[in-house]
Structure 1
Amino acid sequence: MARVRSTDGEGAGEWAWAPLHLHSCYSFLESCIRLEDLVEFAVDEGLPAVALTDRNGLYGAVPFYKLARARGVRPILGAELDLEAGGRVVLLAADGAGYANLCRLISQRRFMGLDPETGLQSDAGRLAPRFTDAQLTEQSAGLFCLSGHRQGPLARRLAERDWEGARVAAERLSRIYPGRFFLELFLHSPGDAAILRRLRVLGEELGLPCIVTPDAHYLTPADRSLYQVMASIRTLTSLRQAHPEKHLGGWFDLPRRDVLARRFPGERVAVANSLAVAMECDVELKLGEPIFPEFSFLDGRSPEGMLRALARAGLSRRYRTPTAEAQARMERELDVVCSLGYAEYFLIVWDIVQEARRRGICTTGRGSAADSLVCYLLGITDVCPMRHRLTFERFLNPLRLKTTGMVDIDLDIQWNRRDELLDFVYGRYGADNVAIIGSFSTYNARSAFADIGKVFGLPEREVRHHSKQLPHTAAAQIRSAGSRLVESEQIPMDRPPFDRMLPFVERIDQLPNHLGMHPCGVVIGRGGIEHMLPLERSAKGCVVTQYDMHGVEALGLVKMDLLGLAGLSVIPDTVTLARRANPRLQLEVGDLDRISQHDPHAWALIRRGDARGCFQIESPAMCSLLKMLGCKDLEALVAAVSVIRPGAANEGKKTEFARRYQGLEPVCYPHPSLSGVLGDTYGLMVYEEHVLTVAHSFAGMDLGRADLLRRAMVKHRGRDAFLGFEEEFRSGALAQGRAEEEIDRIWALLYDFCGYAFNKAHSASYARLAYQCAWLRSRFPAEFFAAVLSSRRGFYSQLTYVLDARNHGIGVLGPDVNESEAVFTTEHGRIRVPLAQVSGIGQESVRTLLAARARGGRFGSLAELLGRVTIPREDWIRLARVGALDALGPSRSQILCSLEVILWERAQQCSAELFSY
């Protein structure tokens, strides 16, 4: 690096240092520094190490660690913490023990501010945690402590000339971190010079070393305006409005060496101390090494031995007379699973599924897991991969796992009992070993425009109006949206203040603004996970990881996707209602896997497109496709679930597939070698697996390599990654004796298919559920619609389902205090509306009324009802007006009058009793 001269004549190029106090975008609106830009800056500047010290968290630690290591920069993991004694300090992990202690310390936030009665965290406890000296002391090993800047416990006191308070605070922290406590010297504005001198004097008096490391909130001075916009969003202020948490002026950039030398001309030793501390910090995260929980059900067996025993037992259960092909495939899959060290993972999933079935909770594996015969034999999935000719490599490809990490099995669970199964997971593996995986909410066009519009002073009404005119797209594309969409054209983007807003809207694209919860992800560890990754408590009381799913996977922790699915709730709820309507009916949810797949009533319903409420096939697009197909078998339904997706549908495959399926167009194959591969889809590429099988059959590619080709086509990797396989494909095809013209045609076919398509395993799993829904609806229509209405999560509104039920001759009965339940039920082929559907009624009132009826039986009169149940007057009126009390009187108007009289008399009586003392 070239030697740079500072203004005082000293060589700035000799000022080797390391930034140790730096906020990234993972401080959530306290910084606009992206991790990629930070590492690039460090490389350009020749910085040997950089610390990441986001406020009260390690949210970006894993991606920062990976990015820095990849570019040869030493990543230092730390955090800026708020103290109960006042102020903030910076903690830096020196080693693995320090990282573990920092994780534990941050995780203790989840116990701060808990309400002793509810166990939930108050807003004050959740949003403003304060760490005590006792907590710092307990978790002090392996950590360096820096005294902080303007908000530090020392600087705040010295600014007020409270020498004694500053001295006490410094001595306290130096006792907690002996030999590892440094006084931070800072100069963010000319006014900080006096505090800097006082800090230096305090350090000399107490014998404490000083360190120079600016508190960076943006990379360069040019980013200051963006930081001020983000700080205004965070503090709910306008752009120029002052706030204690906003730095409207000063220098909060990450200075280059020459700038650092000019700002701190006499602090060469303190600057050098930053590099000395950095070289002492060497945390090595063991990424990619699987960490499995402890099992209590192995009974002395090895995980591999137990998995093999379960799979072999499942082979006999699933197939009466297993074929040699099934036996060989099972052993091959088991060998791959065990050799990769994933036997424990399969056992965890099996354990959860077994418990779900024991409790009668409907669950099924989805996604590519259905490509695995072992998953089918364990009961994790319910689609036979032999029958549907599913490819195991699509699910578990050792070549892919080298770059993507652990294999992933997703479970769909009936949504109204998902929490029950989660409670089992917490109980089985220990609450200290389980947490909900976090996810980061990031800015898109709408959210960025809305937040920045408020900062620039736009009225709330105008912000909402214009935000709704923008598409759900990246904020970086907001200008192009104005020219592409009619709605967005109404936004005057070239007029003030919109013209000043848009550059900021584009620049905060994809920046995280807060931590949320993954919709279905759960992490399971061992020995307590709070030393492996930081945790916090959500507003709803759930313990959530500060790392997202990618960070959790990188650490090797087991990640489970337990997704609540409304469609799975409809099936068991329909069966329950059907048995209740007909006590002699012998039907269990498990029996649906053994029903005829050629039921004429179910297929007639599907062919008519009359499938409202049926999982996956009720949308207008699907109903139209099924009518076009005249669908009459499960294989066609599997194809329909996939052909509706963009990868196939955008290529005009819907019409072509329908015509070939109906025999209106001859079936032809792109190449004779593909007749066995594309036979079930009439010569058309429909599934993701077709990329594997076409590349394998036509070009002789290994299925593992073919899967990498398939992966290059999806996950938004773009066509460049896909084209990187072209040479391998062409050389393999030539070795198979294919002609150049044939190779060009098949490669073009794959290239055009590049997009998002369902994998066949996923399509088969969802088609199975769709058919079961159609079978149930064709036989128990009233019970089916009642279950759909209770789920409240269908494709259409509840009113649409009610009207559809009436169109099919199913009556709908209003709410009734003696007949209605907590959910929709049926009575003699008609649907009964629950009390909770009464507009405006409180849920506590509904619970109180149902509990009273369960204890004392039906209500014989209005007087009896009012005598046994106490709920707010407004709820009584609501019930009466909708007819829920009609059975207790001669007419609704008379009931309303009687109700008013009784309630008035009761109020008078209470008033008299109140003043009788």
Structure 2
Amino acid sequence: MFLNVHSSYSLKYGTMDIPTIVSNARALGIRQMVLTDINNSSGAIEFIRECFKQGVAKAPDEVQAGNIPYQLKPIAGIEFHKEGQLLYFGIAKNKEGMRELNEFLSIRNIEDEILPNAAPSFENAFIVYPFAKNFNRKLKFNEFVGIKSSQLNFLYKHPLLQQPERLVVWHPVTVGNRIEHRLHEYLRAIEMNTLLSMVPDDAKCSLDEVLITEEALKLKFETFPFIVENTQKLMDACDLSVYFEPQVKSKNRFAYTKEGEAFDQVLLRRIAYKGLAYRYGNDHSVARARMEKELKIIEFKNYCAYFLITFDIVRYAMGRCKFYHVGRGSGANSIVAYCLRITDVDPIDLDLYFERFLHEKRTSPPDFDIDFAWDERETIQKYIFKKYPKWHVAFLGTMSTFKDRAVIREIGKVLGLPKEEIDSFTDPAKERENHQNATYRKLVAVHQHMRNMPNQRSIHAGGILISDEPITYYTALDLPPKGFVTVQWDMYEAEAIGYEKFDVLSQRGIGHIREAVQLIRQNRNVEIDIHDFKKFKADPKLNKILREGQPVGCFYIESPAMRQLLKKLKCEDYLTLVAASSIIRPGVASSGMMKSFIERYHAPDKVVYLCKEMEEQLKETYGVMVYQEDVIKVCHYFAGLDLADADVLRKAMSGKYRSKLAFEELVNKFFYSARLQGHSEELITEVWRQISSFAGYSFSKAHSASFAVESYQSLYLKTYYPKEFMVAVLNNYGGFYSRWVYVHELQKTGAKVHLPCVNNSDEVVNINENEAYLGFIGVQGLENKFITQIPLERKRNGPFKDLEQFVKRTKITLEQAILLIRLGALRFTGRDKKTLLWEIYNYLGHKQKRIDAAELFNIESKAYSLPTLENSALEDAYVELELLGYPLNFEMFDFLKTSYRGEIMAADLSENVGKTVRMVGNYVCEKTVHTIKNTKMWFGTFLDANGDFFDTIHFPNTTPVYPFKGKGCYLILGKIVEDFGFPSVEVLKFAKLEIHMNPVAGN
């Protein structure tokens, strides 16, 4: 009887999630219902699955066998709205009907077409129009009119009585109760950006849009029994049981080749063994055995197409596009992936287990993470979408919720609260005070009701689905601003349905590497094989930089925390860097594992292992389970579990296993199997304790190894080609630090860095031998068209000869010209800034005619003599600070009123451990952390007057509420402490130093 049920996927409209709808229907004895969310089918398959999951309905054969006395039959469809008004809702008769409805909506979303007032004639879907007094037209074979019980009086002499078989019961369901109806009103007000009291009645659901018993609903239509019969016939004609799968099957593309799966197996073997010869040569028996083992599992799990599609993406990127990529994540555990050049991580060299990626007992789909440069990823995405047919490829979606406390601001707005009051409610510093306020408590209470509800659909960072059958069998598609069609559910629903995503991601670190290689080729005529990793990891110069902890600009290892860790470990080899990449993660560090690892690293002879097996498997990490692979190894070699069960247990302990009973069975299997190995109960219990405590924090070794490979590539470029590398870092928008830090690093390489110049600068930073010019990108206030146009005009028609020619050729505006003059970008004219600022008004002043018309002859303007106008270095520095965000040729220390630069420099810290000293530092960055007592402490990073880094620690008892006052130089009084050879300053007193003011301030 319930043809029109809304879930919370009817965004900012419905209030009940799907499990609640199903459980409420079950409690009321409802036999069948239709989920029809507004302009989406996000919850359709989840609804069908939830009905079976809750035991309300089972597989069709079980129902027919009479094993189940009661069944809730799930039916799905879509409610179509235009400009907030209901047009009609569609109900799928079967799987084909679901596809018809999804594609009808998808076409409108993709083509940005308005929904028609009348629906098309679907072959496998019903359409229900809302009843209206003036409804008067002949209905098609698949069309009905839904009438509410409150509208039955209007049927008297209504034209629809001439088509009585077309009338059905319409009882929309939107909320669970009166409280949720109030929540619904809040949602509508937020959606409409209006006051709660101003939401019109026709934009809200009525109070009676709740679930009731079928008997109660039929009673409302007792004078029109034929309407109930029509409704029953419609619902009985629907069957979506095909969507129920006791064992979820993969929905990904089954075959890469046209010939099918059997040929895929042959092709994958051929490519993999060709890659094996490239990676290992022809006589590596261990690699061949590993290859054969993996291929058998891949074939058994029907993942040949998945590997081949990923290989095709990588081959296209490396071949036609000459793009550089990084394959990371658990996919790097695979020798097949390594030989297909999907990754550059050697799984044999690192003792990586394929079972971490794929094994015969794995139920959830694995995926590859492929990173490209930030500005090249879209090219790869377009290739994928062009290669595979329409409706068979789409981006994954995401579903954000109202969890963000910023929603409190939205709730405050719909209540009509003044901005000042709302601002005070969103201020974290006033949290305790706000809880005493009744209005604030009301806002929080409303937020608590909506915080887990879906808020809006968006697009996944990089997940792409490539489907064998049309994706529209399972979802309608959106077209977000990025321009790629996107499914209407997220990765968790994709996994539940049976889709494995292809993660095509991006990162700036790859852009650094790619552009550095290009610059080196252009400037030095040197070709670098950046994939020659074996050469890099053995290079003593690279390892020296690692050990000193100074890899600024290098991917993943440049942050203050990572620099400190590298120095504490005296890291000088690949394996230690892999470990560091794992233990630096927040969960590992906060659990105490990082400290334990460092202690054991420096005293390996003092490590006490629980037993021989633990020593054999964990010797590399000194008894600490740093990696997820360590958990697998211990379960396998200590307890005797096979590798598949070991990975299942590892995943379960990390909180990703849904069945508590199945998990307990695995735990029992661990203990039982360990006893069979002859271990004592006490030893087994302790090993299990360590495994269970480490498993939640451990990190994929393959993932860390992928990061470490990229770090070494960056290190190589920084070590041997520092100028080109730092230019590449700047042109790919830096990394962990602010832009000025990388400009400072470029200057430290010996390069002469110049301010932007219209006759020498490009859009981005350029370098020729030792001369580097900052680009126009990064000049605050400079319009994009001039950023592009100025270097383009110069390249087309030669350098600019003077100010007048520059104005004529670029057609620049007065405001933009003044900006460039102030920055010194027209210094090629030989005139000082103030003279140029005077002269620019001759050409672009308010009383002057703009010079923007083409001239038959180039007539030079008269030159006028002006008195000498003074300009100070301090004034220039302030202009650079304003327009670049940093002064280029004027140290931040030079702004200070004092000449004091501290008692010691950063280089002297290790020689003064235990002493209390004064230092002066230029602020670089900070990090706030919460202590066990929920108080705040800070870690700061500074540069001294010599340009060297040093780090500070600010404990709560010696620190004001907020110690940092933004960029600038600080006087620091603190005690020098050392932790595993890394010195830092425990701050006792801390103050920002006074500076010389801008000499033209206020003018």
Category of TM-score, reference length = shorter chain: 0.7 to 0.9
Determine which of 426, 435, 439 is the counterpart of 1:467: 426
Letter in 2 for 1:351: D
Residue 74 in 1 paired to residue 73 in 2?
yes
Flag the 1:699–1:712 CA change in 2: closer, same or farther, 3 A.
same
Give the conservation status (yes or no) of the 8 Å contact 1:109–1:537: no
User: Structure 2 matches for 1:115-134, cutoff 5 A?
Assistant: 129-131=114-116, 133=118
Letter in 2 for 1:109: R
Residue 577 in 1 paired to residue 577 in 2?
no
Offset of residue 80 of structure 1: 0.9
* 1:183 aligned counterpart, secondary structure: strand
* 2:253 aligned counterpart, secondary structure: coil
Residue 506 in 1 paired to residue 433 in 2?
no
Offset of residue 297 of structure 1: 8.3
TM-score with structure 1 setting the length: 0.86
Cα separation, 1, equivalents of 2:817 and 2:102: 52
Residue 603 in 1 paired to residue 543 in 2?
yes
Q: Provide the residue aligned with 1:29 in structure 2.
A: 12
Residue 60 in 1 paired to residue 17 in 2?
no
Q: Provide the residue aligned with 2:325 in structure 1.
A: 363
Give the conservation status (yes or no) of the 8 Å contact 1:311–1:374: yes
Letter in 2 for 1:21: N
Q: Provide the residue aligned with 2:94 in structure 1.
A: 95
Q: Provide the residue aligned with 1:452 in structure 2.
A: 411
Q: Provide the residue aligned with 1:862 in structure 2.
A: 803
Cα separation, 2, equivalents of 1:101 and 1:35: 23
Q: Provide the residue aligned with 1:546 in structure 2.
A: 488
Give the conservation status (yes or no) of the 8 Å contact 1:29–1:513: yes
Flag the 1:443–1:318 CA change in 2: closer, same or farther, 3 A.
same
Cα separation, 2, equivalents of 1:906 and 1:325: 83
User: Structure 2 matches for 1:881-892, cutoff 5 A?
Assistant: 881-892=822-833
Offset of residue 449 of structure 1: 2.1
* 2:250 aligned counterpart, secondary structure: coil
Q: Where does structure 1 lack aligned partners over 5 or more consecutive residues?
A: 1-17, 114-124, 149-153, 470-486
Q: Provide the residue aligned with 1:380 in structure 2.
A: 342
Offset of residue 392 of structure 1: 0.6
92-101 vs 428-437, which deviates more? 428-437
Structure in which a larger fraction of residues adopt helix: 1
Q: Where does structure 2 lack aligned partners over 5 or more consecutive residues?
A: 58-71, 855-1003
List per-residue Cα deviations over 1:568-592 (Å, max 9, x = no partner): 1111111122233322x232433x4
List per-residue Cα deviations over 1:604-625 (Å, max 9, x = no partner): 2222221222111122221111
List per-residue Cα deviations over 1:25-70 (Å, max 9, x = no partner): 1111011111110011121112222211111111111222211222
51-60 vs 244-253, which deviates more? 244-253
Residue 246 in 1 paired to residue 203 in 2?
yes
* 2:77 aligned counterpart, secondary structure: strand
Q: Provide the residue aligned with 2:105 in structure 1.
A: 106
Determine which of 756, 778, 801 is the counterpart of 2:719: 778
Q: Provide the residue aligned with 1:873 in structure 2.
A: 814
Flag the 1:772–1:715 CA change in 2: closer, same or farther, 3 A.
farther
Give the conservation status (yes or no) of the 8 Å contact 2:30–2:214: no
Offset of residue 461 of structure 1: 4.8
* 2:127 aligned counterpart, secondary structure: strand
Determine which of 141, 148, 158 is the counterpart of 2:123: 141
Cα separation, 1, equivalents of 2:680 and 2:430: 50
687-696 vs 782-791, which deviates more? 782-791
Give the conservation status (yes or no) of the 8 Å contact 1:186–1:196: no
Give the conservation status (yes or no) of the 8 Å contact 2:730–2:742: yes
Residue identity over aligned pairs, in percent, reads 30
Cα separation, 2, equivalents of 1:58 and 1:199: 36
Letter in 1 for 2:16: I
Give the conservation status (yes or no) of the 8 Å contact 1:848–1:869: yes
Give the conservation status (yes or no) of the 8 Å contact 2:843–2:849: no
Offset of residue 905 of structure 1: 9.1
Determine which of 619, 642, 648 is the counterpart of 2:588: 648
Q: Provide the residue aligned with 2:764 in structure 1.
A: 823
Determine which of 435, 445, 462 is the counterpart of 1:520: 462
Offset of residue 909 of structure 1: 5.7
Give the conservation status (yes or no) of the 8 Å contact 1:288–1:554: no
Letter in 2 for 1:391: Y
Q: Provide the residue aligned with 2:684 in structure 1.
A: 743
Cα separation, 1, equivalents of 2:368 and 2:86: 45
List per-residue Cα deviations over 1:679-729 (Å, max 9, x = no partner): 211221100111111011111011111111111122465996865532111
Letter in 2 for 1:533: T
Q: Provide the residue aligned with 1:306 in structure 2.
A: 267
Q: Provide the residue aligned with 2:162 in structure 1.
A: 205
Give the conservation status (yes or no) of the 8 Å contact 1:93–1:143: yes
Give the conservation status (yes or no) of the 8 Å contact 1:293–1:524: no
- The aligned length equals 832
List per-residue Cα deviations over 1:220-266 (Å, max 9, x = no partner): 23321111111111111222223255327532222234653565453
Q: Provide the residue aligned with 2:144 in structure 1.
A: 182
Cα separation, 2, equivalents of 1:90 and 1:691: 52
Residue 222 in 1 paired to residue 179 in 2?
yes
Give the conservation status (yes or no) of the 8 Å contact 2:6–2:38: yes
Flag the 1:464–1:296 CA change in 2: closer, same or farther, 3 A.
farther
Offset of residue 497 of structure 1: 1.2
* 1:66 aligned counterpart, secondary structure: helix
Structure in which a larger fraction of residues adopt strand: 2
* 1:182 aligned counterpart, secondary structure: strand
Offset of residue 853 of structure 1: 2.0
Letter in 2 for 1:418: R
List per-residue Cα deviations over 1:488-538 (Å, max 9, x = no partner): 634512422112222221111221111101011112235764455311221
User: Structure 2 matches for 1:273-352, cutoff 5 A?
Assistant: 273-283=230-240, 284-285=242-243, 288-292=249-253, 295=256, 302-352=263-313
Letter in 1 for 2:403: N
More relative contact order in 1 or in 2 (CA 8 Å, sep 6+)? 1
Cα separation, 2, equivalents of 1:298 and 1:888: 68
Cα separation, 1, equivalents of 2:417 and 2:17: 28
Letter in 2 for 1:518: H
* 1:513 aligned counterpart, secondary structure: strand
Give the conservation status (yes or no) of the 8 Å contact 2:566–2:580: yes
Flag the 1:882–1:465 CA change in 2: closer, same or farther, 3 A.
farther
Give the conservation status (yes or no) of the 8 Å contact 1:242–1:248: no
Q: Provide the residue aligned with 1:680 in structure 2.
A: 620
Offset of residue 815 of structure 1: 1.1
Give the conservation status (yes or no) of the 8 Å contact 2:425–2:440: no
Give the conservation status (yes or no) of the 8 Å contact 2:255–2:264: no
Flag the 1:463–1:828 CA change in 2: closer, same or farther, 3 A.
farther
Letter in 2 for 1:304: Q
Letter in 1 for 2:707: Y
Q: Provide the residue aligned with 1:15 in structure 2.
A: none
850-859 vs 515-524, which deviates more? 850-859
Offset of residue 821 of structure 1: 1.8
- After superposition, the CA RMSD in angstroms is 2.8
List per-residue Cα deviations over 1:287-317 (Å, max 9, x = no partner): 5233417756879981100000011111111
Cα separation, 2, equivalents of 1:200 and 1:811: 91
User: Structure 2 matches for 1:615-630, cutoff 5 A?
Assistant: 615-630=555-570
Flag the 1:718–1:98 CA change in 2: closer, same or farther, 3 A.
closer
Offset of residue 863 of structure 1: 2.3
Cα separation, 1, equivalents of 2:116 and 2:205: 28
Cα separation, 1, equivalents of 2:338 and 2:254: 23
Flag the 1:770–1:462 CA change in 2: closer, same or farther, 3 A.
farther
Q: Provide the residue aligned with 1:661 in structure 2.
A: 601
* 1:773 aligned counterpart, secondary structure: helix
Cα separation, 2, equivalents of 1:242 and 1:424: 46
Cα separation, 1, equivalents of 2:217 and 2:783: 62
Give the conservation status (yes or no) of the 8 Å contact 1:645–1:757: no
554-563 vs 516-525, which deviates more? 554-563
* 1:795 aligned counterpart, secondary structure: coil
Give the conservation status (yes or no) of the 8 Å contact 1:290–1:556: yes
Flag the 1:60–1:249 CA change in 2: closer, same or farther, 3 A.
closer
